[in-house]
Amino acid sequence: MNKFSATIISPEKTLFEGEIEELLLPTENGQIGILPNHAPLVSKIAHGEAVIKNGSSKDALVLFGGFVHVLNDRSVIVLADSAYHIEEINEKEAQAAKERAEQLLVTKEVRDDKTRFAEIQSELLKSITALKALRKYRKK
């Protein structure tokens, strides 16, 4: 099968760099699949699961915002605001973060501060996204 070059990076690290057959990404308009010879594209990444496919092998990541740029020279660059391999997610920590965020969102102090409310909502969304992906892709 044809392959294309993909690079997935966040400010902290390079999560993937290599030749792949398919890349599934969460965008603001829904999930997209990128195959070799995909049309050029720039799109905003949403919070969600990304899957790197090579033959029967799949590598799952969780992305939290960013951009994807599909170039016409058979390469894709994903610039993630934040991203993790599924194996890097600690379920207990993610669950605790979710519960903390849920508790904070109902406090008067947070509800009255729009900026803080938005920050806590974002943390809640990140923890829910991480937990959902972890439960879907973890090794059984």
Cβ-contact 9, 79 below 8 angstroms = yes
Distance between CA atoms of residues 60 and 129, nearest Å: 13
Domain boundaries in the chain? 4-86, 90-137
- pLDDT tens per residue, range 34-82: 999 999 999 999 999 999 999 899 999 999 999 999 998 789 999 999 9
pLDDT above 70 (res 140): no
Tell which CATH classification among 3.30.420.10, 2.60.40.10, 2.60.15.10, 3.30.70.2860 matches the domain 4-86.
Answer: 2.60.15.10
Residue 139 has pLDDT above 80, yes or no: no
User: What percent of the chain has a predicted confidence (pLDDT) above 90?
Assistant: 85
What per-residue confidence (pLDDT) applies to 137? 77
CA angle, 8 then 121 then 105, to 5°: 155
